[in-house]
Amino acid sequence: MKKLIYVAIGLITLLAIVAGFHSRPNSQEQMVDLLQKVNHKFRDYRNDFSPETQLAHIDSVMGQSGQIEVEIYAKAATLLKLGEEEKAIVLLEELINQLKSVNPKATRVAMGDLALAYLRLGEQTNCVTNHSAESCILPIRGGGIHANKTGSQKAISVYEALLKQDPEDMESRWLLNLAYMTLGQYPKGVPSAWLIPNMVDTTNRIDAFQDVAKGLNLDVSNMAGGVIVEDFDHDGYLDIAMSGWGLDEPMHYFKNNANGTFSDKSEASGLQQLTGGLNMMQTDYNNDGFADIFVLRGAWQGEFGEQPNSLLKNNGDGTFTDVTTVSGLLSFHPTQTATWADFNNDGWLDVFIGNETANSFRVVGKPHPCELFLNNQDGTFTEIANQANCNIVGFVKGVTSGDYDNDGWKDLFLSTMDGNRYLLKNKGVRNKVPYFEDVTLNAGLRDESGNSFTTWFWDYDNDGWLDLFVCDYSFLKSLAFYEAAEALKQPIGKAGTIYLYRNNHDGTFVNMSAAANVQKTTFSMGGNFGDINNDGFLDMYLGSGNPNYKSLVPNKLFLNQQGKAFADVTTSGRVGNLQKGHGVSFADLDNDGDQDIYIEMGGAYVGDSYPNSLYLNPGQSANNWICLNLHGTKTNRLAIGSQVKLTFKEKGIQRTVYRDVNSGGSFGSSPLRREIGIGAATMIDEVEVRWHGSKTVQVFRNVKPNQFLSITEGSDKLERVALKTLNFSKDVAPICRTPVALVSASSARKP
């Protein structure tokens, strides 16, 4: 009898355990639950990025402080964050009437916000509600001219009043000129005393890109966020995943249908359940050959940014599953930047995460050291930053990895908002973990002061050694001030300029910014690089992001001039969007042989959401190209970190082009397949692949250009991939061509 009782108890216990196991949330459900909890914490009136709760708090204490003017001003500013321009205008006009006879200084501040509110109203009723391919593209013309002129007209009236008081007000001067431009009256309509005659640089010309996002239903309206362009389902055609940083904003996933259209698979893929993420990138954490997604959260938000990142497993069937908790990657630190690489050369991808520790200009908080997670080769990771000597504590905004000294080990560079930069040399494996040494000073990278943001390793001059890009992000005034001052050729120092460091081949770098003509104001947050004219030299597109609504400055495109200098081609390229630019991807989405540009738009507040853009490349040249998709066997399956070297003759002169396999810049992810221009060459003499970590080197000779090829590590075959050229321009306005001059040529050669 006792035996039967024990058996019964055992069965009941087993059933209880099984029932308990099945009642536990899976990894995806755990992340959804976590995000809901951190969203609740995020909704705090002390959080600068939670205007909904700030507004409720202001209303709850209105009239209690004895400073009603301050309360009205705070409420108007909060309404602007929420996109309630008309309500803000009523409050600001009331406030100005109360202040104008007693406090001229405060009146002027309120007038500046009133002018901005009118300008924002014009943007909302025209550029957002009636969005077109030409909306907010500097110079504003064509479909970008406002049909509803009320907002800009009233803004002009206030800005002119401000400039009469202070003609040296650069910020108001820039915004006044923009307002006139939205009405189609610039430059003739602008009073000469306040005219900025050189708002755009027309020196260098290329053929104009066309924003085709709306016709493809890819014009998702988010706040700031990240983007990945990648072939997630292995059908050969590039898909798009994107995120918005708001914890209420779901992720999006668009499948390329291989017929000139995309299908919104956000819900079916499982990504719609997951919210938030200022940045994200692809990886292959489990080495199965399918690109997974890593989402980064919490940037800029201090104590309210202690949010989990997400590792999303690609299931290979069009769906993704959050595996953060089961993989050991769960942590709670504010961040938006990471880099995946095989740091210990074992054939599996590891991840370094650059976290944000508050510095002197923010509220002091607890330290958030950087993390390095080593891949255990079983779907899990172990955090080893302390043992690896890379647990940097700083306000990290950008990280990039690359083998800058060509010793076979992937190094790290960190860009921060606390004035520091870090070059960490990988010294190889010690005690079973990679070990890093800070060589910043000896490398010559601490010769410049100032905060910095966007960064990446790249070989901009094709000499086989990785160079370094860093964008300054130091400012004391609004970005509109700096843009106006630069246009008027007034001194602004080094605020927002580009640092271009050339590799000296001896472990040191030299700043080539002046010689390369990139000492220009950009204030880049998002940014990436590619080759828009297939000349074999890497170009770059920089997204100018900033929470301030007055930061109406253009995103910028720079064309590489034979590895020696860069030309600003923003104006003729028609890509100078005035809205906030964040994640950027260069990718040949339509398979016509030239790279297009997808950019995630939108700002830090719900009232600053804006449609994303897909800039279709019309073809800048008759240059040839090759597209290589690498598949590792001993190295990681996606071949991340491997190097491609092309050798060919162009007009009788031998050339080499080098490309590392990576997703590009530190904010936005391009596809891992290598889309490489070879200029006018009609044959590639050699394609050399150096597979990272495995030390395998393969060489293929006499390769014809203008085709898509697949290369597998260890195989001597070049497999041709048959992909259709897609037509993305059916439902959009015809591409506006710009006269060809200086750096442009005719249409692209098709595959």
Position 10 pLDDT exceeds 60: no
pLDDT of residue 362: 47
- CA distances 29 to 32, 116, 252, 326, Å, are 5, 42, 18, 12
Is residue 286 pLDDT above 80, yes or no?
Answer: yes
Q: Name, in order, each residue with C-beta under 8 angstroms of 334's C-beta and a sequence gap of 6 or more.
A: 297, 298, 299, 300, 301, 302, 305, 306, 307, 355, 356, 368
- The pLDDT tens digits of the residues spanning 14-38 come to 333 333 333 346 999 999 999 999 9
Could you tell me what percent of the chain has a pLDDT over 90? 86
Confidence of residue 743 (pLDDT cuts 50, 70, 90): very low
Q: Which two tokens stand for residue 246?
A: 């708001």
Amino acid letter for position 140: I
**Average pLDDT of 194-201?**
93
165 — pLDDT class (breaks 50, 70, 90):
very high
Round to whole Å and give the CA distance between 85 and 369.
40
681-712 per-position pLDDT tens digit: 999 999 999 999 998 999 999 999 999 999 99
Tokens of 340: 């995946």
- DSSP characters over 144-202: GS-SS-HHHHHHHHHHHHHHHH-TT-HHHHHHHHHHHHHTT-TTTTS-GGG--TTSS--
Sequence-ordered list of residues with C-beta below 8 angstroms from that of 406, at least 6 positions apart, any chain: 464, 465
Query: Could you read off the pLDDT of 126-161 as tens digits, one per residue?
Result: 999 999 999 999 999 999 999 999 999 999 999 999
Give pLDDT tens digits for 474-529.
888 889 999 999 999 998 888 888 999 999 999 999 999 999 999 888 999 999 99
- Given pLDDT bands bounded at 50, 70 and 90, which one contains residue 365? low
The per-residue pLDDT for 744 is 29
Topology of the domain comprising 210-616 = Methylamine Dehydrogenase; Chain H (2.130.10)
pLDDT higher than threshold 90 for residue 586: yes
Does residue 592 have a pLDDT over 70?
Answer: yes
Handedness of CA 296, 298, 302, 303 (dihedral sign): negative
Residue 660 has pLDDT above 90, yes or no: yes
Assigned token pair, 536:
């074999």
pLDDT score for 639: 98
Residue 63's pLDDT band (cuts 50, 70, 90): confident
Q: What pLDDT is stored for residue 268 in this prediction?
A: 97
Query: Where, residue-wise, is CATH 2.130.10.10 in the chain?
Result: 210-616
- Portions of the chain given CATH number 1.25.40.10: 48-183
Give me the pLDDT at residue 475, please: 86
Cβ contacts of 65 within 8 Å, gap of 6 or more: 71
Residue 88 confidence (pLDDT):
98
Q: What is the pLDDT of residue 410?
A: 98
For the segment 290-318, the average pLDDT, to the nearest whole number, is 96
| 260: pLDDT strictly greater than 50 | yes
Reference 383, options 348, 339, 331, 313; nearest CA is 331
Residue 1 has a pLDDT of 44
Express each pLDDT in 722-737 by its tens digit.
999 999 974 443 333 3
3-state secondary structure of 252: strand
The superfamily (CATH) of domain 48-183 is Tetratricopeptide repeat domain (1.25.40.10)
